[in-house]
A and B are shown apart, each in its own frame.
Chain A
Amino acid sequence: MPEVSRLASNFGAIGLVLTLLLAVTFLPPDNSLKEVRAGASLRACVPPSYPPLVTGYADRPGLDVELLQAVAVRLHVGLALNSNDAIGRDFNPRNWGLNRAQCQVVAGGVVDSDQTRSFLETAPQYAKTGWAIISPRPLAGLKGLKVGVLTLVSGLDRIGLASFLRSAGVQIQVVRTPEELVAGIAEHRFDAGITEALLATRLAADQKWVAAWMPPELKRYGLVFGLWKGELTLKRAIDQAINDLAADGTIVAILARYAGVPLN
Chain B
Amino acid sequence: MLQLGGLYGLWLREVMRAVRDRGQLVGGASRPILWVLILGIGLNPYFRGEVYGEATFVVPFTYLQFIFPGVVALNVMFTSVQSAVSVIWDREFGFLREVLVSPLSRTTILLGKILGGSTVALLHGCLVLILARFADVPLTPIDVLKAIGLMAILSFAVTSLGVVIANRIRTFEGFGIFSNAVIMPLYFTSSSMFPLDPALSKEQTYVTYPEWLVTIVEYNPLTYAVDALRGVLIHYNQFAPWMGITVMVGCSVILFSIALFDFRRA
On whether the two chains bind one another, the answer is: yes
B-binding residues in A (CB < 8 A): 10-11, 13-14, 17-18, 20-22, 24-25, 27, 29-30, 92-100, 106, 114, 117-121, 226, 228-230, 232, 235
What is the bound-complex CA distance between A120 and B45, given in angstroms?
Answer: 13
| A232 B136 Cβ-Cβ under 8 A | yes
Interface size class of B (residues with CB under 8 A): 35 or more
User: If A29-B41, A118-B58 touch, does A17 touch B28 (CB 8 Å cutoff)?
Assistant: yes
What is the bound-complex CA distance between A93 and B127, given in angstroms?
Answer: 40
User: If A229-B62, A232-B136 touch, does A24 touch B33 (CB 8 Å cutoff)?
Assistant: yes
Which chain B residues in 44-60 approach chain A with CB under 8 Å?
Answer: 44-45, 48-55, 58-60
Q: Does B25 count as interface, using CB distance less than 8 angstroms?
A: yes
Chain A residues within 8 Å of B45, by CB: 230
User: If A17-B26, A99-B52 touch, does A10 touch B20 (CB 8 Å cutoff)?
Assistant: yes
What is the bound-complex CA distance between A14 and B24, given in angstroms?
Answer: 11
Taking the closest CB of chain A, its distance from the CB of B139, in whole angstroms, is 12
What is the bound-complex CA distance between A100 and B20, given in angstroms?
Answer: 49
User: If A18-B130, A119-B58, A230-B44 touch, does A93 touch B136 (CB 8 Å cutoff)?
Assistant: no
- Residue pairs across A and B with Cβ atoms less than 8 A apart, 27 shown, are A14-B19, A14-B25, A17-B28, A18-B127, A21-B29, A21-B32, A24-B131, A25-B130, A25-B131, A25-B133, A27-B134, A29-B41, A29-B44, A29-B64, A29-B136, A30-B41, A93-B52, A96-B52, A99-B50, A99-B51, A99-B52, A117-B60, A118-B55, A118-B58, A119-B53, A120-B52, A229-B49
Q: Mark B226-250, 1 if CB is under 8 A from A, else 0.
A: 0000000000000000000000000
Nearest A-chain residue to B135, judged by Cβ = A29
A-binding residues in B (CB < 8 A): 19-20, 22, 25-26, 28-29, 32-33, 37, 41, 44-45, 48-55, 58-64, 127, 130-134, 136
Nearest A-chain residue to B53, judged by Cβ = A94
Chain B residues within 8 Å of A17, by CB: 25-26, 28-29, 127
Taking the closest CB of chain A, its distance from the CB of B25, in whole angstroms, is 6
Chain B residues within 8 Å of A232, by CB: 136
Nearest A-chain residue to B123, judged by Cβ = A14
Nearest B-chain residue to A117, judged by Cβ = B60
